[in-house]
Structure 1
Amino acid sequence: MTGSIDRIELINFSIGLPKKMKYGTDKEMETGICKETTEEAFLTNDGFHGDGVADLRHHGGLDRAVCVYPYEHYTLWEQEFNKPLPRSTFGENITVTNMLEQDVHIGDIFQLGDAVIQITQGRIPCSTITKRTDLPPLLKRMIETGFTGYLCRVLEEGTVRKDSQITLLEPHPKQVSVLFTNELYFHRPKDVEGIQKVLGVQELAEDWRERLTKRLEKLTSPV
């Protein structure tokens, strides 16, 4: 864990229920990505009151109750694509500094306001991001870099405010970073040792456990 983790700052706190979003040429879709800054909200095991997702298959659930995105990446993407990005561009609830994918780990536990959350998985970015930003190359770049943000489960429910403190309560002893899991998932599909390392973290989200277990079984089963 790097020293910067001690200086975490909550830059933006957003929630929002699914609504229609226009994109492209006269197209629209129902999505929960267009969240809005809020003063405070109560965080339950299922997520924030007043927050929601449209695609229940790929989003939401106990292992994906809170979405986090590092604020530092906004500067990177805005410079790369020469385009300002709105707050909560990626549909995240929490936009933070000093919690980069390389510096946080699956199973790390954080105090967030009155609540306690635990990192469970990297985020698998979807095409909704492209539709919202109108930047087709962005999705590919997020996957290339591993700068996807990540998801958390709720260990203790409680109120979160826009000026809430975020503090690391308990770093996970296995120190498997979100960036490592992203690189493995997206770029090293045949890395048996890496898959075993990630699966060795008991707190990994069930969805990722199933995906990586299937991958491992295919790689290690006799032909």
Structure 2
Amino acid sequence: MTGRVAAVNLGIVTEAGWAGDASGRSGIDKRPVDGPVSVLTGGLAGDFIGERAHHGGPDQAVYAYAEEDAAWWVAELRRAIPPGGFGENLTTYAVDVTGAVIGEQWQVGSALLQVTKPRTPCTTFAGFWGVPDLIKRFTVRASPGAYLRVLREGEVGAGDPVEVVDRPAHGVTIGEVFRANSLEPELLPRLLDAEDLPEPIREKARRRLAARG
């Protein structure tokens, strides 16, 4: 089955005590929009990003989360989670986001995107959902969604196919990177094989491996 974009979501300005930046504003509340949206190297046009020290930037320009993974949380929490509810820009369908290989390239609409790294859950996410232990539960579930960099700017809209046009041979996946940094440190050596993984993550893996001797 060909993967596709189920929804394109843009963040609105949310002011709350749990918001991450110093001004108390967050862009985690993302809402589906109609029509094509411009995908730029810095992210989607019109998407509000609050705490830029930890969100946005070339390696985190676009965030994708799978509709199938969202369905697990709907059942787990027994409540509706609309598209954008994970703070994702792209809600995908029939795309193995957790199994996406670091560095693989997606043709989405007229844009070319590249998988870079998993999302790390934060207190802003827990506050947005109102689930105090969400960080722990999200970590154990280990379906974090994927950040993407923009290799070619373009436009994307709901219903556009998601086609994997290139996949590195190293095979290191979003799920492996997430588990290596949280639950399964024995996977850390694998991270050094993924050249397209952002250097701060690779350097952290080197330091942890060196400390273990």
TM-score of the aligned structures, taking structure 2 as reference length:
0.90
The CA deviation at 1:181 is: 1.2
How many positions carry a matched residue from both structures? Answer: 209
Aligned-partner Cα distance in 1 for 2:81–2:16: 16
- Residue 211 (structure 2) pairs with residue 218 (structure 1): yes
Question: Which of 85, 90, 95 is 2:91 aligned to?
Answer: 95
Letter matched to residue 52 of structure 2: L
**8 Å contact 1:36–1:88 — kept in the other structure?**
yes
Question: Secondary structure of the residue that 2:164 maps to in structure 1?
Answer: strand
Q: Deviation digits for residues 123-180 of structure 1, max 9, x if unmatched?
A: 1111112111112233322100211111011111111122222111011211111111
Which position in structure 1 is the counterpart of 2:53?
Answer: 57
Question: Which of 84, 93, 113 is 2:80 aligned to?
Answer: 84
Q: Deviation digits for residues 6-32 of structure 1, max 9, x if unmatched?
A: 521211110125432476xxxx93101
Q: Which runs of 4+ in 1 moved over 4 A?
A: none
Identical counterparts, % of pairs: 26
Aligned-partner Cα distance in 2 for 1:150–1:186: 16
Structure 2: unaligned runs, 5 residues or longer: none
Aligned-partner Cα distance in 1 for 2:203–2:12: 28
Letter matched to residue 59 of structure 2: D
Letter matched to residue 208 of structure 2: R
Question: Secondary structure of the residue that 1:186 maps to in structure 2?
Answer: coil
Which position in structure 2 is the counterpart of 1:149?
Answer: 145
Structure 1: unaligned runs, 5 residues or longer: 1-5
- Residue 8 (structure 2) pairs with residue 13 (structure 1): yes
**8 Å contact 1:113–1:158 — kept in the other structure?**
yes
Question: Which of 49, 66, 77 is 2:62 aligned to?
Answer: 66
Letter matched to residue 205 of structure 1: P
**8 Å contact 2:11–2:48 — kept in the other structure?**
yes
**8 Å contact 2:98–2:143 — kept in the other structure?**
no
RMSD of aligned residue pairs (Cα, Å): 2.0
